[in-house]
């Protein structure tokens, strides 16, 4: 019944849209035809009166000018009347968005300082999208210590990206707690949280401007030397030097003038400039070739030696050298261990590994 009502509403919207489009397409040429025919008739009648001596040429020209102004005003009024309903509907949607209370609230007395080095703990974390029948995450426990690399792996739709989104509060856990140095992320000051947790999303977004302005997004006072260092670590310095202007090379909105791998490397460099205590990489190496991926991970291992690093990846080669690997299956952490331990004990991880690597490569 709901599907039938939705289809009927779509058909009605299509009919109304086609009718409005036909009227709008007809209105402009119709007004022009009326105006041109009226002008021809007036010039013909005016010429006959001028020839008879009852009308001056200047009077005819003035009358035609007044008529043009009147016709243009009428045309603008017609356009205004046609666009008013659309403008009212758009304004109502804007008011609804502006009037929607934020789902992520700032605490009255936020924590503005963390004493620890950036230990990340997830205690029985669960998350359910509003209106969803099943939770995306349920009872997830995870510990990521400073100086270690923790990897999260699982099949598509297992909740890996949602899990990382809970740490910088892109989403709020509906169950359990997400702690950084023993403090719930919901109690942190937004500025402190942004400086403590650095997230590189799976599909990074670059802003219109220059490469330097994008790298300084989280730290405006960063020097050019610090930017080049971050680019070297992210394996992006070579292609930045090749671009005209270097750091001042233009970047279009969304980074559409860059390839997917270049956008990922610039996003990684942008996080490195901030130097947070917790690094979150959400499948941030998927657009890189194997050689660049290996060089980047080796450079990151040295650059983030004292920080907490959490990597979400689809490729086993990206996570196999992590200190701890967490296997997510249908929103639950089913196993934790090193690559060798999981290969022996966990069938889900073993299935993922054997789907990507041969038995010799896996060993």
Sequential DSSP letters for 145-211: -TT-EEEEEESTTSSHHHHHHTTTTSS--SEEEEEETTEEGGGB-HHHHHHHEEEE-SS----SEEH
Q: What is the pLDDT of residues 96-141, one digit of tens each?
A: 999 988 878 888 888 999 888 889 999 999 999 888 888 999 999 9
Residue 1's pLDDT band (cuts 50, 70, 90)? low
For residue 236, is pLDDT > 70?
Answer: yes
* 178 Cβ contact partners less than 8 Å away, ≥ 6 residues apart: 120, 121, 122, 125, 166, 167, 184, 185, 186
CA distance 240 to 252: 15
Average pLDDT of span 201-205 = 89
Which residue ranges make up each domain of the chain? 2-99, 120-128+135-362
Choose the CATH number for 120-128+135-362 among 3.90.320.10, 3.30.2350.10, 3.40.50.300, 3.30.70.100. 3.40.50.300
For residue 232, is pLDDT > 90?
Answer: yes
Q: Give residue 157's Cα distance to chain centre.
A: 19
CB atoms within 10 A of CB 352: 21
Average pLDDT of span 339-349 = 88
Q: What is the pLDDT of residues 28-57, one digit of tens each?
A: 788 778 878 888 888 888 898 888 888 888
Q: What percent of the chain has pLDDT over 70?
A: 98
CA distance 234 to 272: 8
For 138, list phi and psi in degrees, rounded to 5: -155, 120
Instruction: Give the per-residue pLDDT at 199.
Output: 93
For residue 357, is pLDDT > 70?
Answer: no
Q: What is the pLDDT of residues 146-156, one digit of tens each?
A: 999 999 998 88
Average pLDDT of span 298-304 = 90
Residue 252's pLDDT band (cuts 50, 70, 90)? very high
For residue 362, is pLDDT > 60?
Answer: no
Q: Give residue 210's Cα distance to chain centre.
A: 18
> What is the average pLDDT value for the chain, to the nearest integer?
88
Helix axes 290-303, 260-274, angle to 10 degrees: 0
Instruction: Give the per-residue pLDDT at 163.
Output: 92
For residue 358, is pLDDT > 70?
Answer: no
For residue 248, is pLDDT > 90?
Answer: yes
CA distance 50 to 88: 50
Strands in the chain per DSSP E: 120-127, 137-144, 149-154, 175-180, 183-184, 197-200, 209-210, 250-251, 278-282, 308-312, 324-329, 332-337
Residue 180's pLDDT band (cuts 50, 70, 90)? very high
For residue 198, is pLDDT > 90?
Answer: yes
- Which has the closest alpha carbon to 144: 124, 119, 125, 162? 119
Tokens standing for residue 86: 């659309």
- 8 A C-beta contact, residue 278 and residue 308: yes
Instruction: Give the per-residue pLDDT at 64.
Output: 85
Does pTM surpass 0.85? no
């Amino acid at each position: 019944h709901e599907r039938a009502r939705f289809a009927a509403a779509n058909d009605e919207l299509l009919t109304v849209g086609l009718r409005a489009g036909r009227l709008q397409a007809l209105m402009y040429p119709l007004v022009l035809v009326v105006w041109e025919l009226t002008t021809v008739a007036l010039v013909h009648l005016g010429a006959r009166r001028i020839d008879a001596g009852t009308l001056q040429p200047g009077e005819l020209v003035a009358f035609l000018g007044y008529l043009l102004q009147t016709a243009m005003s009428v045309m603008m009024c017609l356009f205004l009347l046609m666009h008013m309903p659309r403008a009212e509907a758009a304004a109502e949607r804007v008011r609804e968005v502006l009037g929607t209370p934020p789902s992520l609230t700032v605490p009255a007395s936020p924590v503005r300082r963390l004493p620890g080095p950036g230990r990340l703990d997830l205690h029985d974390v669960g998350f359910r999208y509003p209106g969803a029948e099943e939770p995306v995450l349920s009872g997830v426990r995870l510990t990521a210590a400073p100086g270690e690399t923790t990897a999260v792996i699982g099949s598509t739709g297992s909740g890996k990206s949602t899990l990382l989104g809970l740490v910088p509060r892109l989403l709020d856990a509906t169950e359990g707690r997400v702690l950084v140095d023993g403090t719930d992320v919901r109690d942190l000051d937004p500025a402190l949280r942004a400086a403590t947790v650095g997230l590189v999303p799976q599909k990074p977004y670059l802003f219109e401007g220059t490469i330097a302005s994008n790298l300084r997004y989280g730290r405006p006072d960063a020097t050019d030397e610090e930017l080049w260092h971050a680019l070297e670590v992210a394996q992006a310095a070579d292609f930045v030097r090749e671009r005209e202007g270097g750091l001042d090379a233009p970047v279009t909105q969304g980074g559409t003038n860059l390839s997917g791998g270049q956008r990922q490397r610039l996003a990684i460099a942008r996080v490195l400039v901030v130097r947070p205590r917790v690094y979150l990489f959400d499948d941030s190496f998927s657009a890189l070739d194997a050689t660049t991926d290996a060089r980047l991970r080796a450079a990151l291992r040295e650059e983030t030696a004292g920080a907490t690093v959490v990597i979400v990846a689809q490729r086993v080669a990206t996570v196999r050298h992590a200190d701890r690997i967490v296997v997510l299956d249908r929103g639950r952490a089913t196993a934790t261990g090193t690559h060798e331990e999981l290969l022996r004990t966990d069938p889900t991880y073993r299935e993922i590994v054997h789907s990507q690597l041969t038995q010799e490569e896996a060993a």
